């Protein structure tokens, strides 16, 4: 065995110690803060981003929001894979056109379609669109990011694809001296075809790490009418509320769809109250509801409010979500 040159052992040891540190570099993120709250936001990145799936908008992933007494978001899933469709946390958003990607229905096999906030995807064959599938990204587009102490702004642009192109802006900000988060959106149609799409926020709430269960309720300003009833005995629709009436078994889930809302944006006003955590949040939107879904597991519960967007070429649409976080009286 040849002798090891002087100093080599130290170099090898230093390299061995350095290697794990490189592997553990966290995905890009920013910290927003004011006197009442902090928010941690993952940044879009095609190579290093925490989420690189093709279901949800890559921008504005608020994976932690902490007020003086409570944490409102966090990891709710068991298995993490950056390419998995739901390896994502917080108030995350998805754009859907006819339940699919923009331009998917008319694209030929091997052709292109568009996911707003993700980029240009490849349509693999003639089959229907699969929400939970991770598609090949042909072109992730261009991301520009600006930030300050209390806000971060994303701008996403794509090249034209079968007449579709856009500039999409999202600003996530903590309102000064308040436990309030605002998400401001603007979608500018820079293509030659009208962008017709629904957009919703999945709202993966994980409040203080506590499970969904009795004492948790979601309150709406209208009487809920079931379109799709819950097929579970642990969550119920009661008038203007969705309430957990039993502990949620590990591995169980429930989904329901509801109507009863009007064409007024005043009905986009949702209150979440988690009695065991003594924490609440009020969510308001600037556009009318187009659809309302509620999904839950033991580890998260999610009111999913949809809005409809119709943007002709050369036009734009803007909308805002406001989250007010508050304390409830202790039992």
Residue in 242, 246, 245, 267 with CA at minimum distance from that of residue 255: 242
3-state secondary structure (DSSP) of residue 219: strand
Please tell me the distance from the alpha carbon of residue 272 to that of residue 20, in angstroms, as a whole number: 41
In the DSSP assignment, the letter for residue 249 is P
Residue that is written with structure tokens 């309302």 in the block: 292
Where are the domains positioned within the chain?
29-327
| Cα–Cα separations (whole angstroms), residue 273 to 101, 126, 211, 220, 293 | 34, 45, 13, 12, 18
Supply 16's token pair: 């061995």
pTM of the model: 0.92
| Cα–Cα separations (whole angstroms), residue 126 to 109, 111, 122, 123, 130 | 5, 10, 12, 8, 12
Q: pLDDT tens digits, the chain, 331 residues: what are they?
A: 444 444 444 433 344 444 444 456 889 999 999 999 999 999 999 999 999 999 999 999 999 999 999 999 999 999 999 999 999 999 999 999 999 999 999 999 999 999 999 999 999 999 999 999 999 999 999 999 999 999 999 999 999 999 999 999 999 999 999 999 999 999 999 999 999 999 999 999 999 999 999 999 999 999 999 999 999 999 999 999 999 999 999 999 999 999 999 999 999 999 999 999 999 999 999 999 999 999 999 999 999 999 999 999 999 999 999 999 999 998 7
Please tell me the distance from the alpha carbon of residue 156 to that of residue 118, in angstroms, as a whole number: 9
29-327: CATH, from 2.60.120.10, 2.70.98.10, 2.40.30.10, 3.90.45.10: 2.70.98.10
Report how many helices (DSSP H) and strands (DSSP E) the chain contains, helices first: 1, 22
């Amino acid at each position: 065995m040849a002798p090891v040159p002087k100093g080599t052992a130290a170099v090898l040891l230093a390299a061995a110690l350095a290697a794990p540190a490189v592997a553990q570099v966290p995905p890009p993120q920013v910290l927003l803060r004011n006197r009442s709250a902090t928010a941690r936001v993952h940044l879009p990145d095609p190579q290093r981003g925490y989420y690189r799936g093709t279901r949800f908008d890559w921008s504005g992933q608020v994976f932690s929001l902490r007020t003086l007494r409570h944490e409102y978001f966090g990891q709710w899933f068991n298995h993490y894979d950056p390419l998995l469709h739901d390896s994502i946390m917080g108030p995350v958003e998805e754009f859907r056109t006819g339940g699919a990607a923009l331009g998917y229905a008319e694209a030929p096999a091997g052709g292109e379609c568009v996911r707003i906030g993700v980029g240009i995807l490849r349509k693999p064959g003639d089959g229907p669109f699969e929400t939970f599938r991770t598609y090949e990204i042909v072109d992730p587009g261009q991301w520009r990011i600006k930030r300050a102490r209390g806000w971060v702004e994303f701008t996403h642009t794509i090249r034209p694809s079968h007449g579709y192109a856009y500039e999409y802006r999202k600003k996530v900000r903590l309102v000064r001296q308040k436990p309030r988060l605002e998400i401001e959106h603007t979608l500018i149609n820079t293509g030659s075809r009208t962008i017709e799409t629904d957009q919703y926020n999945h709202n993966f709430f994980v409040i203080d790490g506590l499970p969904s269960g009795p004492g948790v309720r979601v309150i709406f300003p209208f009487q809920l009418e079931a379109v799709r009833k819950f097929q579970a005995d642990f969550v119920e629709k009661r008038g203007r509320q969705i309430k957990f009436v039993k502990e949620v078994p590990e591995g169980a889930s429930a989904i329901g769809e509801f109507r009863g809302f009007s064409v007024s944006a005043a009905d986009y006003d949702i209150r979440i109250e988690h009695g065991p955590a003594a924490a609440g949040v009020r969510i308001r939107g600037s556009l009318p509801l187009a659809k309302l879904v509620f999904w839950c597991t033991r580890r998260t519960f999610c009111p999913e409010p949809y809005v409809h967007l119709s943007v002709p070429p050369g036009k734009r649409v803007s909308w805002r979500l406001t989250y007010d976080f508050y304390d409830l009286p202790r039992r």
